[in-house]
Amino acid sequence: MKLFITMIALAFPLFASANTVVFQATSAAPETLKTLSFDSAYLTDDAGQLILTAGNLAGSFQTVSAVRMTEDAISFKAEKLLLNSWESGCGEAEFAKASIEGVSVLGAVEAKNLKISIQYTTVHDVCHSQPQTQLIKYQLVQ
């Protein structure tokens, strides 16, 4: 299954629609996290969630902070756990938590104003080794 997801992630830019927004990792990242994509983004009316449509980053992100800048604009930070897997016993573990910061004007969110990062953590032996964590930052490419 992991191989299938990796193949889709690598091929995704080839099948991207004209509306697809693509962010590329600016540093080393696992294959499944090198490229992130979605079609549109908007903040819900209560500013409680950031919604991304289509692509491999699609879904609902919980807003952890929202500050009204003007009557129409809200600065926000939203997070979502993208990956949370571990093998039973003393096996491996892998976690990925995405963080998206931006500004919403009348609910709409422009991709060019987003700051996306993922805190990626791996543990090779959950019983005997320390977690290795890295912060992966992304830049808009399309």
7 occurs within a structural domain: no
**Amino acid 62: pLDDT:** 98
Q: Which residue has the tokens 């294959």?
A: 31
Per residue in 30-71, pLDDT (tens digit) is 999 999 999 999 999 999 999 999 999 999 999 999 999 999
8 occurs within a structural domain: no
3 occurs within a structural domain: no
**Is residue 4 predicted with pLDDT exceeding 80?**
no
Question: Domain count of the chain?
Answer: 1
**52: domain range?**
22-136
Give CA angle at 96 (129, 31), nearest 5°. Answer: 95
Q: Quickly state the pLDDT bin for 17 (edges 50, 70, 90).
A: low
6 occurs within a structural domain: no
Alpha-carbon gap, residue 121 to 73, rounded angstroms: 34
Per residue in 78-121, pLDDT (tens digit) is 999 999 998 888 889 999 999 999 999 998 999 999 999 999 99
